[in-house]
Amino acid sequence: MLHVENLTLKYGQSQILHSVNLNAAVGEVTTIMGTNGVGKTSLLKAIGGRHPYAGGTMTLDGADLMHPTPFAAARAGIAYVPQGREIFPMMSVRENLQTGFACLPKSDHTIPDHIFDLFPVLNDMIERRGGDLSGGQQQQLAIAR
């Protein structure tokens, strides 16, 4: 599904990632592990289009992603959920989920039923403010979005 080959990433003049290769196959769990400061988050940001990479290629389902912007990555189906969740605390659960529609055509502006199959608590709290949810519920909301 996702194939990363020889990815190189820089912050200014400092090279952060050196020729990283990654394959994430459909139906399998792929993990990225390492100690603090080795570039795990930087790699994920590059895949999600949030940080430009200096070299290498990324393909999704065989299509070259060609240095995606965050919008293009999201449109392709790639999501990045930061550790800090970054939900909108004053907006309802429904409104938080609807912010995920930004990269979709108007015809797709509905919350898919499978979201509530995965996270039933979100359906129960659909009108509650995001900031009123527990930390774990906020993480579910961020992933669902």
* Domains, the chain, with CATH or none: 2-76 (3.40.50.300), 93-144 (no CATH)
Average pLDDT over the chain, rounded to an integer: 91
pLDDT of residue 72: 87
Structure tokens at 134: 């527990």
Q: HEC string of 77-141?
A: CCCCCCCCCCCCCCCEHHHHHHHHHHHCCHHHCCCCHHHHHHCHHHHHCCCCEHHHCCHHHHHHH
All residues at 6 or more sequence positions from 135 whose CB lies less than 8 Å from its CB, including other chains:
none
Q: pLDDT per residue over 25-62, tens digit each?
A: 999 989 999 999 899 999 999 999 988 899 999 999 99
What letter represents residue 118's amino acid? L
Q: Per-residue confidence at 17, pLDDT binned at 50, 70, 90?
A: very high
pTM confidence score: 0.71
